[in-house]
Structure 1
């Protein structure tokens, strides 16, 4: 019975039950979708304040030299893995050729008009908003991250000059309150997941999957290879046992694959990084917040495969310059497009029109995007944790006792979990005895 209290197991059971119910109930299951959407919105409404507070606190509390090293290591690992993801996608696509001989007779959604290609200069300009409140209202994450980094750096200088930590304390308390709010919302996660997947199973036509098995298989294979690479690098650099990772990442993985949203999973990733993996709050807040928009390795992998798929489907030979441009766009476009579900159609159409590829087959990719969304989000959220482990290990800010389950850490002052709520007097007595023994 104790195992049933595990949040990851509860979500997994709810997901299976939801799919089974949806297949039996058919179209009627769509009536449950609003409950799942409500759960997603309850999480999404706290993403912007949580990300802003996390980045500002992490940046504002750094010492000058430490801030530079932390940022350099974070961006270095993220860019390196993104480039590896793009190169791997190119290699697998050339080997498997998922788009070769592809025939798609379905019609493209009339609402999906090809967007006008923009220059890379315009893309970079979009990283900075002229109105931060507008960016916050639309959850445009990249400008929010940029603003928070600059605000945190200015706050750092202000604290060094005046010694006043009042503003920093405010954002630190805000971060802890939002994390507590997320913890309350997660009590209904199994219900939300059940309703989401019941509605999906009752509505989606799974037959379309067989048409795109080669595309899905290429993406899945790439995710598996990158995951093995991540774990190998983490094990070698941190000297931590990789066999403990599945249990520590189980809860965030369950949320990621059932919601296909990195933003919805972010609060759980941040909490688990501190409480289960042992990463310091400073590193976790900074690295994971930046990783929400920059650490989208699954997206880079998938977008590069999309470029090769469309080229092969239309029998178009890409020049080396076009290939490099396609991989570069995949890296750039991953920023800010994967925080919520539904960004893929715009990205796919943009890639097609930017490189002059036939976009008729985009409809097929959109039809199976829920499945590729699972692959992308799985790698995105866990990849961010791996990068945070690498960054924390380099500065000796990963608590090995927490990782080895010899110690408990808390991501916020209110670190009570459902399991801890059920403590007994006997448990409290044992805890007091352990504390006396440790003090002695």
Structure 2
């Protein structure tokens, strides 16, 4: 039987832990393989982000960059910031990394910018080639957003289709490169876990279990807030709203894939949640490409976990930086295979945190992915409901029926059993 990559990664993690326990420092040198794997992941990050953001914005329909596009972007931004803030606050409150003290291989600290002016200026590149060569992800994202918008506007009559196609092809190659590197993930993560186990023993597993519990709780809190706000904003009954999301959430949780969940998400948004076809087709694919509430929450919570494991202090400015980077790191990594791991490879080095901490989270990425995907698809769909309500394109009668209502059965062409 052929094992999935997720299963291979989990087996690699368990194998690495067992090797570290059984042979101790004698196998510590295997960590070199893990360090090579991390470098291979990091080398693709800037190119991947650069191409993905430009392609996503360059491909948008002309009307998507107008009023509807701006409104959708603001909803995406707002919900993602809230999600990241919840992850940060829950991490600071419940302290998943408390009780275990790790020592980084190289001295490190979380440095907050001295002045707000420097922080703001740091978002904008002076020289995009310098930003690319230095791996300054924030500046690359800002440039890619501006370039994507300009390309979209200039290509209204397909004059720059060749440029867009070139970006698409480069992006496809970058994704293939990530896929190639991800085939090494079982060996790389296993080797990293050897190093972690040799250094700390089985004590490193306790914070991971606490992390998953806190992440699940944080996701539940975020979804509750989101559904309550949308119920009030769109003036729809909360019970009908929850019933309409049951199948979407179940598919997202079990598949851990926003891409696989998208067809069900689009069907149920229209048939069970009353969103017009026009809004559904605009907001949901765009959300899958650019919006990730669950990933932003995950990254912010990871940062608090890592700072606690390595006894690093976070100032208020550092907290703002964590939330900002958690939001920005989602762009372009949402639909990439191993997107959670790629996003970690962005945010951990950018914040100056020990890169070996990525190994701890990589082994439980599949379990984290269940919560991430639910938060992602529910966040996208609630945005579609809010936009449809604003545009008077929300059928509120859909909320008065049961979970498998006649409205849904008639539109989908199925029969209830």
Provide TM-score, normalisation by structure 1. 0.59
Task: Give the equivalent residue in structure 2 for 1:307.
Answer: 303
Task: Give the equivalent residue in structure 2 for 1:393.
Answer: 389
Instruction: Answer yes or no: is 1:248 the counterpart of 2:244.
Output: yes
How far apart are the structure 2 equivalents of 1:320 and 1:262? 33
Q: How much has 1:283 moved relative to structure 2?
A: 1.1
Task: Give the equivalent residue in structure 2 for 1:121.
Answer: 139
SS of equivalent to 2:2: helix
How far apart are the structure 1 equivalents of 2:384 and 2:295? 18
Task: Give the equivalent residue in structure 1 for 2:172.
Answer: 137
Aligned in 2, Cα 1:132/1:307: closer, same or farther, shift over 3 Å? same
Does the 8 Å CA contact 1:311/1:317 hold for their aligned counterparts? yes
Q: How does 1:301-340 map to 2 (within 5 A)?
A: 301-340=297-336
SS of equivalent to 1:358: coil
Q: How does 1:163-178 map to 2 (within 5 A)?
A: none
How far apart are the structure 1 equivalents of 2:276 and 2:246? 20
Comparing 238-247 with 364-373, which one deviates more in the overlay?
Answer: 238-247
Q: How much has 1:225 moved relative to structure 2?
A: 1.0
1:275 alignment partner, one of 260, 268, 271 = 271
SS of equivalent to 2:373: helix
Comparing 335-344 with 221-230, which one deviates more in the overlay?
Answer: 335-344
Deviations 1:312-339 (A, max 9, x none): 1111113333332221111011122122
Aligned in 2, Cα 1:416/1:230: closer, same or farther, shift over 3 Å? closer
Deviations 1:78-107 (A, max 9, x none): 1111111222222111111112233679x9
Aligned in 2, Cα 1:139/1:265: closer, same or farther, shift over 3 Å? farther
Q: How many residues align?
A: 297
Task: Give the equivalent residue in structure 1 for 2:399.
Answer: 403
Aligned in 2, Cα 1:290/1:135: closer, same or farther, shift over 3 Å? farther
How far apart are the structure 1 equivalents of 2:205 and 2:313? 26
Instruction: Answer yes or no: is 1:223 the counterpart of 2:219.
Output: yes
Instruction: Answer yes or no: is 1:70 the counterpart of 2:68.
Output: yes
Does the 8 Å CA contact 2:340/2:365 hold for their aligned counterparts? yes
Gaps of at least 5 residues in structure 2 are 8-51, 106-132, 149-162, 176-201
How far apart are the structure 2 equivalents of 1:209 and 1:265? 31
Comparing 340-349 with 225-234, which one deviates more in the overlay?
Answer: 340-349
Task: Give the equivalent residue in structure 2 for 1:83.
Answer: 81
SS of equivalent to 1:239: coil
Q: How does 1:32-51 map to 2 (within 5 A)?
A: 33=4
User: How large is the RMSD of aligned CA atoms in angstroms?
Assistant: 3.7
Aligned in 2, Cα 1:369/1:32: closer, same or farther, shift over 3 Å? closer
Task: Give the equivalent residue in structure 1 for 2:366.
Answer: 370
Aligned in 2, Cα 1:253/1:139: closer, same or farther, shift over 3 Å? farther
SS of equivalent to 1:77: helix
